[in-house]
Structures are given as C-alpha cells and as structure tokens.
Amino acid sequence: MDLYEHQARELFEDYGVPVPKAEVTDSAKEARQIAERLGGRAVVKAQVKTGGRGKAGGVKLAADPAATELTARQMLGMDIKGHTVRTVMLAQPVDIEAEFYVGYALDRAAGRFLAMASADGGMDIEEVAEARPEAVARIAVDPALGVTADKAAEITAAAGLPPEAADVLTRLWTVLVEEDAVLVEVNPLVRTRDGRLLALDGKVTLDDNARFRQARWGASEVTYDDPLEEQAAAKGLNYVKLDGQVGIIGNGAGLVMSTLDVVAGCGARPANFLDIGGGASAQVMADGLTVILSDPDVKSVFVNVFGGITACDAVADGIARALDSVHLTKPLVVRLDGNNAARGRAILDGHAHPLLEQATTMDGAARRAADLAK
C-alpha cells in the first residue's frame, strides 16, 4: 500500500528524520490559515499517489497566505495522471544549497534490500539512472544485518553524499523495518544554506501482507479514484480499471497479465485486470462479473481459467451459478483448460446461456472476445 506524501512525512518525523514544518488540509480557506502559521509563504503540494506532480502543476510556491488560498483552491479537485487531488500539504519553504536522493527498495529476486543513493537528487531518479548509471550508487543490504553506522557510511561514501547523511540513512532503515515497508525513498534530501539536511519529499510503500500490524494505515486511509475499483475492493477482488473494451477475468496474476497481452495483440484493449486467484466460487464469479458489467466501456467479457488446484468443473459450476444471479447483458467468452476442463465445458454447454460462448484455446478466445468488442 502506497502512502501519501504527508503520511510518509509523518513517519519520517516520528523516527527522527528531519523534515520541514507542514500541515495538510482539504480546504482552501484553511490553507490560508496554515500559511499564516508557517510564516506567510508556503509550498502547496497536491496529495496524490503518483509521480510527476511538479510537471503537472501539483507543486507550487505561494508568496503569501492569500496566494496560498488561491493556489489550494485551484489545486483541489484537479486531475493528475488520473488521480483526483482531494487534499493538499502546505510546507514551509527552505533555501536549498544541494539536492540528493536516498532510498531503500526490496530486491525480491535476490532476497535482500537494495540501498540507492545519488548526489543528483530533485529530479526523476529513473532518468538519472538511465542517462548516467554511474551517478546512482547501489549497495546491497542484508536484512539480517540491516543498515548499521558502518553500512550507512559506506552508502554515503559510494554516492558522494555529505557524511551527515549517514544518520538519515540509518533512521530511514528503521522506518522500513518498523513499518513493514518494501520501499522508502527521499527525493530530494536537501542541504539548506544554513547547513541542515531535510527530507523535502518522501515515498513509502508498505507490505500489504503486514497491514494487520499497521492499523493506523487501515481501510480509512485507502481512497479510490475509480468507483469500480472501490466496489471491487469492497468485495475483496484484485481489480484494476483500464481503458479498454474487453473485460478480463482470470485465475492467477501471471495468467491475467498474459491474457491482457493476447487481447491487445488481437487489436482490442483490455478494460481491466481481475485476478480471482485460486478459487472461483459462484459468489466470486458473480462479484467479478457484476463489477465488470458495471463498466459502461465493456463490450465483451473474457474469462480465461487454467485449472490446477481448483478444477475447471468447479470453476464452470461457479460461472453457471453466477449467471443465475447476474443479469448478463454483454457477450461472455470462456476458455477452460487444465484439470477437468472437459467436464467444465460440459457444464457450461448444459447451461446454454444465449450470450455465453466457449473456446478451447486462449488465442481463439481472445480473438473472439476482441471481435465481439468491436
């Protein structure tokens, strides 16, 4: 789960990472009052879970409280890369002498964490890494050992950061461990003209599997920019809204991702990602179909299931039962393969729904769903 910037800042402050004074609000009028408390000037920052806010007009310096109120009023409700700005953070401006980048990310393949640091902060670190890979230091961190004072000194030296950044690195590591994070980064970490180090912007991603231990970032902190995603989340579905016309249901993230590619290769655009996981009960299928059919952009639905632990006949029974409770208004193409596939196809044949079709291959089913969407 990604945190908003103001939530990451709150974490940093809790663990002793130096940050500027700041407050968050959803009211332009209150933004003016906050600016007065901050000394008059304020940096107004849109709170959305996406990068590139500055280029999109989501980060602006306001010269006085009146300008802060106007800026906040313009920013609240704006769209940034498909994310609606519902709150803004007002931060106290600082005089910057130098900008750096520091962060930790989980390296799943290697079974360890990766420390990344660069003396070139304040810009897209991906662009820096691509253009000048030598400008980004990458140091492996053994989770069992963590970031000690010596390790932090190694990272700062490799990246050419000031020695005092080592203390920030050890504190950020504590944030990562104590908060069950898989990503913690600061861009930029700045040195002010009076010699202080401050984390001006932060990004923190928590491990969803540890959410039960992180109650303060519970469901009340999760917002959805798309009502279908909110509806799916309420039903416990792993759903992501896309901009196409073919609704997709599959079992397993890898299979669903492959299905998206195959549908795109047939000249149609997927309307969503929906992984029903290892189970395909009638209720799960009914919930999935309800969400997908609620999308006005969907013209056809493709259910792609490979039976393994969950046999295809159980999946087919779930689909058949779901169709008894869901009003199917758009063509549905089903491809079943794997364990008990023949029995599953027979169950669907016996159901004989006028809008239900079957295909024996993924390519064939994708072509048919794409054609129906057109």
Catalytic amino acids? 101, 185
The whole-angstrom separation of Cα 244 and Cα 363 is 18
Residue 137 forms beta bridges with which residues?
117
What secondary structure letter does DSSP report for 55?
Answer: T
- Strand partners for 79: 84
Phi then psi for 245, rounded to 5 degrees? Answer: -120, -10
CA distances in angstroms from 102 to 94, 137, 257, 335, listed in the order given: 19, 9, 32, 47
What whole-number distance in Å separates Cα of residue 94 and Cα of residue 178?
29
In Å, how far are 43, 197, 223, 235, 274 from 317, measured between CA atoms?
A: 57, 61, 34, 20, 19
Q: Left if phi > 0, otherwise alpha if psi is -120 to 50, otherwise beta: which for 160? A: left
- Which element (helix H / strand E) includes 96? strand 96-107
Torsion sign across C-alpha atoms 84, 227, 362, 305: positive
How would you classify residue 120: left for phi > 0, otherwise alpha for psi between -120 and 50, otherwise beta? beta
